[in-house]
A and B are shown apart, each in its own frame.
Chain A
């Protein structure tokens, strides 16, 4: 059938793996397009896979379908207006993104954050990690074919989202952290609700493990699949649970602590198996450690202010704003003109559920960031896909994608 010139051009530009005519009849391979609308690619990831029968020879990720130019938009916003943008990067861990950004700007401003704000940030970050890992576990198991777990995970995730709604007013795009502290004091019964939730969480994790860990089908689909050595992981920029599952003992919360993580006792799970199964084990253990951190945060929650003593940056209390002239002036100035940040560059990395989430902020001394760059864990981890999938079956690609826990929002930004 003759092709129209437009169609021929489309095929030419859309096929990332070009045919190799020099190999002629010996060329038995086929190019398979997976995504961008594919249930196991968790969003709009497109993979161009070259296969020989069922064996994968080459995987080329094609990304950018979700590119919204967030970094560009940040340059046109005041510093405090960037916080809601950071939620949208990674919709599964909004608080982690908020934290990384506000820590970077607070570093530029050299602000002292009160203990209570730091501890609430830690608490919410660990709830976010649980939230993100629950979505990962549910969807990963569903990709493998264990459909039940998804519903169990989303049951607990719903509880976490209700907690977020309670504290921040939003379920997913929380934007709860502010430069200089938190947006609001948490509601009175918030900590009791967290306590009730976290008390029943360990047995829920047992429940997921009962469904999956001893399951021979699940085990055989995961064990030995997607091998990634420690050297490859470091060379390819892999961070977070996949790095620790490759035997590299590195966790930013413990090794380069931020937001008073050094005051918490927790283990960093590491596995030397280097496969998809190891990533599953590491993440399940991480969920248990997160529960411990939340318990410690609840037990030792300090009293005090939730915002730094910096009237030129932090919006004043509503009460003060209505009664004191000074506060009213500051409020008006911050809302209309923003606050200026001293010139400088900072890079602040935090351990997000997917790995190292880093914010590189450049200030030129005005009220708008000169440049905000996000270093995203999934973006780097995606490069390891080729190493992990080469020589395996197509069905293993699905398991590997699930195991690196990608979020396309943060890859494309």
Chain B
């Protein structure tokens, strides 16, 4: 069985060759809130205000391809929204998952469209379905739902069959 390695220092020790965790800790160890290595996947939790810097740090470390931006709603616990980024490295053949917790009182986070333009649609989707706003996004409109839609359907407090 594959047991999890929890904690940023433990992960750093367990993965001495991993460039993602090394570069993130070298960049700003205070912004790295937590790290976890489970099922051969590295998850690094980044403070909300530092996500742009974290993306730049892993990009400089060779993680050149943004695969996905999505969100997980942990309602009713706080911080409620975990904005999740999957970043791939073509040269290292490795993937890192950055997670940024966002409080429901102020569901905003910096946009990373300036780093990877492909984040444009992904962030629009997160805004549309979760209601997390992205600062600095060039065109934060709904993408799936109609413009005049009320609510954000993928939130856990939104009923599966919709409001009747």
Contacts and interface: CB of A to CB of B under 8 A. Distances in A.
A344 B38 contact: yes
Secondary structure at chain A's binding surface: helix, strand, loop or mixed?
A: mixed
B117 A235 contact: yes
Contacts of A55: none
Contacts of B145: 64, 67
Contact of A347 (B66, B73, B95, B154): B95
A371 interface: yes
Interface string B61-80: 00011111010110000000
Nearest to B68: A375
A383 B118 CA distance: 7
A75 interface: yes
Contacts of A71: 129, 154
A183 interface: no
Interface string A265-308: 00000000000000000000000000000000000000000000
Contacts of A67: 144-145
Interface residues of B, number: 39
Interface residues of A, number: 40
A237 B118 CA distance: 5
B70 to A, nearest CB: 4
B71 to A, nearest CB: 8
Given A360-B86, A371-B72, A375-B86, A346 B67 contact: no
B135 interface: no
A346 B116 CA distance: 23
A33 interface: no
B23 interface: no
Given A76-B160, A345-B97, A383-B120, A107 B39 contact: yes
A204 interface: no
A345 B2 contact: no
A362 B146 CA distance: 27
A69 B125 CA distance: 12
Given A13-B147, A347-B86, A371-B72, A237 B153 contact: no
28 contacts: A13-B147, A63-B143, A64-B142, A64-B146, A75-B160, A76-B160, A108-B39, A110-B1, A110-B39, A234-B65, A235-B118, A237-B66, A237-B116, A237-B118, A256-B95, A346-B41, A347-B41, A347-B67, A347-B68, A349-B67, A349-B95, A358-B86, A360-B86, A375-B67, A375-B70, A375-B86, A380-B118, A383-B117
Given A234-B90, A380-B122, 16 more contacts: A63-B144, A64-B142, A76-B160, A110-B1, A110-B2, A234-B65, A235-B116, A235-B117, A237-B116, A255-B93, A256-B95, A346-B39, A349-B95, A373-B68, A375-B68, A380-B118
Q: Which 3 A-B pairs have the closest CB atoms?
A: A237-B118, A375-B68, A67-B144
